[in-house]
Structure 1
Amino acid sequence: MPPLPALAALLPGIPLTPPPPLPAPTPRPALQRRATPASTARLQGNSISINGLRQQALWLQDAGELWLPLEVLEGQLGVSRSSGANGSVELEWFGQKLSVSADRQRSLDDEVAVPVSGLLEAVGVISRTEGRELSLQLPPRPLQAIRWSNQGVSGQRVVLDLSAPALVRSGEDRLLIGTEASPQQLEQLKQLGLSPSQRNGWLSVQIPRDGERLSLGGPWRLVLDLPVLGDGAPARATTTPAPAPERDPRLVALQNQGLKLERRVGRIGSRQVLINSVRLDPRQVPLELRPLNRSDGMQGLSSLSQLARQEQALIAINGGYFNRVNRLPLGAMREQGRWLSGPILNRGAAGWKAGELPRFDRLMLVETIEDSRRQRWSITTVNSGYVQKGLARYTADWGSRYQPITGTEMGVLVRNGVVQERYELGAMAPGVPLREGDLLLVARGGVSVPWQSGERLTLQSRPTSPVGEQPNVLGGGPLLLQNGRVILNGTAEGFSSGFLAQGAPRTVVASDGRQLWLITLQGVNNAGPTLMETALLMQQEGLQDALNLDGGSSTGLVLADVHTVKGRGVAAAVHNGLGLVPRLEQARTPERP
């Protein structure tokens, strides 16, 4: 989501007629770190009930403090999040603010969780635990008033004046708001094109996919900014139920040419797994496999549906790993010969040319900078959010400006092989503009570089595998299968033992030697398969090569603009993906041996 406007400029177009008088909200002090008894029992679970609506989600209660994943806070409660300095997370919810430093964040399996007991209490949420289920309740209160205004080219703004803070759950095209609307208010929302309904304490409204929301305190409000259509009219959510995506005419035509879409339940040991698979021979079916990335650089997250629409992909799965806190990539992404983000830790990757099956292998880039004194310096990463001691390089593919990721960075800007500018420690804090052809070398962890303006530097780069020579590459890990054999070695690829042992939803890109496979796996009444179970399941399917991609809440599958698979029941934000985009040329006829 793009940054929301500053608070002072948020409501300039709202009619001056005020809503009915509201009771002033009770002032609350700024949130402080809670002092909790060390003897409190440690509880952990994988189910959360939110005002009676249950979903699969991780949670932890430790020493009296409740930890929730960022995806739950944003998608299921309505908390706004932004990235702060030095890896901190800034949370805001109905006027309550909480800053969580990097050392206060922790991992819940594959999720980033933060301590939120104080924030929940400040807003009025009641939390209880029963076994492995957490219950969160914020009783719905009456909706006070509805205000709206046209914002010209910006669209339409709708403001819901609330009598108390409310939970806000996000869907693909709708919001569930924990408030009670009257019949007259429902009619108002209907006239605004939001197709409202009221049930069990939840007000449901349909909103365009690109709509934005923001909660405010003093008085309590929920602001919905709705974009405009190409003709200048306010966008409206679709109210006609969409047909099953498999019956979309575009997909039906491709299925007649050999595309296979399958959804079934498989078994690994005693556990059942829901398998969604997309299969095609790229030499026969006119679909091209492409990396899906944001168009404005490597920093930031998006929905899988948005990434697919941006590239006009009919089918998409989520891609490689990323840091949910600073929203930066953690693995290989190459598009049309350009390294948007380099590989890390010799992890598995898939590389391909248009119209061909991918190749699979573990991958690193071996890069050095040689100066005029014939001294060579190793480069650790390329356009990456993976931070380690040493020298990293960044290009304009990273974005229009480089902002330091750590607090101890110096560097030099190189253009046409010549150092243009030198940045001492702290000098890059305002950001370094990057233009096409620029190369920014960043030194971290106490490493110092000797080069001055005017010195000539030479970059040498080579991949450790032919996979890295392909024009398109996507990294993930671990590598599961190669030539039909299970070669899972997560430790060698830098994954923790806890990550390797956990069960979770999975996303896999694979090949059986004849067809490309895009696969999602979800547990049936279980957390999902472990990585070894995933590898064995892929082998059972007859696959020759298989690469694990990001999983957990990131797991997703989009068919004909319908988000049909959501890893843990929520359409979580992701950094990148893999898409199948229609080719303009006719399907190729495979060469005969």
Structure 2
Amino acid sequence: MPVLAALHPGIPLIPPPPPPAEVRPIRQAEGSLIRANGRTQPARWRIERGELWLTLEFLENQLGVQRSSGERGMLQLEWFGSEISLPARRQQSLGDEVAVPVSDLLRRVGVSFEPFGKNELSLELPVRPLEAIRARDNGISGRRVVLDLKAPALVRSDDGQLAISAEGNPEQLRQLAGLGLKPRQENGWLQLEAKGERLTLGRPWRLVLDLPSDTALTSLNRPSGTSPNTALATLQRQGLALNRTVDRIGNRQVLINSVQLDPRRVPVDLRPLNRSNGMKGLSSLSQLARNESALIAINGGFFNRVNRLPLGALKDNGQWLSGPILNRGAVGWGDGELPQFDRLRLQESVLDPRQRRWSLISLNSGYVQKGLARYTEAWGPRYQPLTGQELGFVLRNGVVQQRIEGIPQPGVPLRAGDELLVARGGVQVDWQPGERLVLSSRSTSVVGDKPFVVGGGPLLLRSGLVALNGQAEGFSPGFIRQGAPRTVIASDGRQLWLITLQGVNNAGPTLMETALLLKQRGLKEALNLDGGSSTGLVLADVQTVKGRGIAGSVHNGIGLIPRAPMPRPNRPPARLASSPP
């Protein structure tokens, strides 16, 4: 008998099991599909040195994370009471999106994640019952609905449609139906129709929905009682064409949606679509279209997804809301004419009393460089500093009213008629209150002289030839090479085209492939707009194209507005407040 068994007769004569294998975290992986609680969605992800990076668009619209921006590019994320702060160095490009590291945030909320297959990431959060529903009217501002949750949940938002990873019982579904939210319970997801703002809160866990008082859609410019589809059908009889085809580039297929019309014949106005309360902020394309009574809309130009500010030209009724940058492509037009296409700069300078001429590098822009920038009331009610130490000069009628050493974070009010010149990067300017400055401004192309301008880039076609030159417009080689959903505004010399392109079981066309596909269709002028998750097409109040399967937030758009019996209110025409009398 072995000695061990004799001393300890209760121990069986079976060797102990081997120690469990060490579980090592995945150090490197990436892909373009994410499956969250069983729902698969095109979205880029990366695991780098064991840290998971997800895009801001996915975090906000498909998980329910709230974010806000702080000083010097700082980003704050909050999700059911858990918060993380990410400086600019902890933000990176992932394809055409901004991504941030979120492993710690996901684990705190209870989300597990792991790569799945060759290209997919699996996210899982246990589904728990919905505990209670509370609602109250907020007077003219609308109604607040609070969903009390047993635990945090995934909150997927898609242009007024919410999907929450929670289980509601039959009585709760009846209660939600009574609130007009049209609930459905499917495969662990509670689905609601809920336009408005949402907020997640922690301990106790709650999802707060602030619903607008008038949930009906804004009336479009059409005869009373006419539906959007009827109005669209009327325009089609008047010459507007809608097409949806699948084309091929190499061995890959591309789905192409297009709207075609002669703006000289079809009774619509082509207009930029933007938020009315300043340049900071994002919205859904559908909401931008509703705000301006646009029957048809595509997304517009580029923007910074962290600070939610424009990165390119935007001009409405003669007023520069945001100036062009980096000599990038732009499209400009007037009423009842085909648009014109070109690369565009806005050359601005200021002459001071000592006869020194200073170049202004940007106008109302989120694109930050060393030098002098100009901001007007079109920027919003106040300017808040975009970099560390900034020197400001408030001008009225060309005269310096105030010199601000170090613009404070609360910002500087931008009153009607005032202009703010901002010096960045240590630029030293000795102007003092009472000194007169003479400002001059001119566009480098006739495009910039048009009353309506939208910038994008790169320019794809000019005079029927491929004009793609990403380096000339300040785009990176990686951006030029990558495949992605695309949005394009174009012309064949007779008609205006609004176009979206999406890959069929592939990431989408590159910019060169896009240019070649459009050239094959007989187009002569074409400008690339923002793409990826921003790509969108709204027809008759329905977003029929969503770049990566879910309606992304955008800064601006381009819309077709049916002509109404009464003129649409317009912004006042542009005026250089500092120009000499």
Give TM-score, length-normalised by structure 1: 0.88
Q: CA deviation at 1:236?
A: 7.4
Q: Which one-letter code corresponds to 1:217 in the other structure?
A: G
Q: Look up the equivalent residue of 1:371 and give its one-letter code.
A: D
The aligned residue for residue 228 of structure 1 is 213
Q: Which runs of structure 2 are paired with 1:159-558 in the superposition (5 Å)?
A: 159-207=146-194, 209=195, 211-229=196-214, 235=215, 248-424=229-405, 426-558=406-538
1:246·1:559 contact (CA, 8 Å) conserved in 2? no
Distance 1:285 1:427 in 2: 49
The equivalent of 1:90 in structure 2 is: 76
1:309 Cα deviation from its structure 2 partner: 1.0
> Would you say 1:152 and 2:114 are equivalent positions?
no
The 8 Å contact of residues 328 and 459 in structure 2, kept in 1 or not, is answered as yes
2:7 equivalent in structure 1: none
Q: Give 1:585 shift.
A: 6.8
Write the deviation string for residues 111-162 of structure 1: whole angstroms up to 9, x where unpaired.
0111000000000001011221001010101111222222222322222111
Partner of 2:574: none
Structure 2 CA distance, aligned partners of 1:237 and 1:252? 19
What is the distance in 2 between the residues matched to 1:578 and 1:281?
16
Structure 2 SS opposite 1:492: helix
For 2:449 and 2:160, locate their aligned partners in 1 and report how far apart those are by CA, in whole Å.
40
CA separation in 2, counterparts of 1:454 and 1:188?
64
Amino acid at match of 1:103: R
Q: Distance in 2 between matches of 1:113 and 1:333?
A: 26
User: Kindly tell me: are residues 76 and 284 of structure 1, through their superposed partners in 2, closer, same or farther at Cα, counting changes over 3 Å?
Assistant: same
Q: Which amino acid is the alignment partner of residue 559 of structure 1?
A: L
Q: Distance in 2 between matches of 1:489 and 1:251?
A: 37
CA distance in 1, matches of 2:210, 2:393: 42
Contact 1:246/1:261, CA 8 A, preserved across alignment: no
CA offsets 1:339-362 (integer angstroms, 9 cap, x no match): 111111000011111100011110
CA contact (8 A) 1:48 1:134 kept: yes
Measured against aligned partners, the alpha-carbon deviations of 1:409-434 in whole angstroms (never above 9, x if no partner) come to 1021111111111111x244331111
Tell which structure's C-alpha radius of gyration is larger: 2
Give the Cα–Cα distance (whole angstroms) in 1 for the partners of residues 200 and 107 of structure 2.
Answer: 17
**Is the CA contact (8 Å cut-off) linking 1:315 and 1:581 kept in structure 2?**
yes
- Secondary structure of 2:448's match? helix
In the TM superposition, what is the alpha-carbon distance from 1:173 to its structure 2 partner?
2.6
Q: Deviations over 1:277-324 (max 9, x none)?
A: 000000100111111111001111111111111111111100000000
Aligned pair in 2 of structure 1 residues 525, 354: CA closer, same or farther (>3 Å)? same
1:584 Cα offset (Å) = 3.5
Query: How has the CA–CA distance of structure 1 residues 94 and 337 changed in structure 2, closer, same or farther, with 3 Å as cutoff?
Result: same
Instruction: Write the distance in 1 (CA, Å) between the matches of 2:325 and 2:142.
Output: 42
**In the alignment, residue 454 of structure 1 is paired with which amino acid?**
G
- Cα distance change on mapping 1:326 and 1:38 into 2, 3 Å: farther
Aligned partner letter, 1:260:
A
TM-score of the pair, normalised by structure 2: 0.90
User: Against the structure 1 CA distance between its residues 430 and 147, is the aligned structure 2 distance closer, same or farther, given a 3 Å change threshold?
Assistant: closer
Q: SS of 1:539's equivalent?
A: helix
Q: 1:443 to 1:256 in 2, by over 3 A?
A: same
1:439 is displaced (CA, Å) by: 1.4
Aligned length: 536
Quote the residue 2:44 is aligned against.
58
Q: Conserved in 2, the CA contact under 8 Å of 1:38 and 1:63?
A: no
> Residue 260 of structure 2 aligns to which amino acid in structure 1?
R
What amino acid sits opposite 1:121 in the alignment? R
Q: Which moved more, 1:186-195 or 1:452-461?
A: 186-195
Gaps of 5+ in 2: 1-22, 219-225, 567-581
Report sequence identity in percent.
67
* Counterpart residue identity of residue 474, structure 2: G
Query: Contact 2:217 / 2:290 at 8 angstroms: preserved in 1?
Result: no
Task: Give 2:27's aligned residue.
Answer: 41
2:101 corresponds in structure 1 to 115
Measure the CA separation in 2 of the matches of 1:441 and 1:405. Answer: 13
Which residue is equivalent to 1:27?
A: none
Which residue number in structure 2 is paired with residue 19 of structure 1? none
- 2:140 counterpart letter in structure 1: V
Q: Secondary structure at the match of 2:514?
A: helix
1:435/1:326 CA distance change after superposition, 3 Å:
same
Structure 1: which amino acid aligns with 2:58?
V
Contact 2:96 2:532 in 1 (8 A): yes
1:358/1:132 CA distance change after superposition, 3 Å: same
Identify if the C-alpha distance between structure 1 residues 94 and 529 changes in structure 2 by more than 3 Å, giving closer, same or farther.
same
Query: 1:192 & 1:371 partners in 2: Cα distance?
Result: 62
Q: Residues 351 and 360 of structure 1 are in contact (CA less than 8 Å); yes or no, is this contact kept in structure 2? A: yes
Deviating runs (4+, > 4 A) in structure 1?
37-40
CA deviation after TM superposition for structure 1 residue 396, in Å: 0.5
CA–CA separation in structure 1 for the residues paired with 2:484 and 2:551: 15
Determine if contact 2:228/2:295 at 8 Å carries over to the other structure: no
Q: How far apart, CA to CA, are the structure 2 residues paired with 1:148 and 1:237?
A: 22
**Aligned counterparts of 1:236 and 1:291: Cα–Cα separation in 2:** 24
Single out whichever of 169-178 and 362-371 deviates more from structure 2.
Answer: 169-178
CA shift, 1:337, in A, is: 1.3
Q: Is 1:296–1:399's contact at 8 Å kept on the other side of the alignment?
A: yes
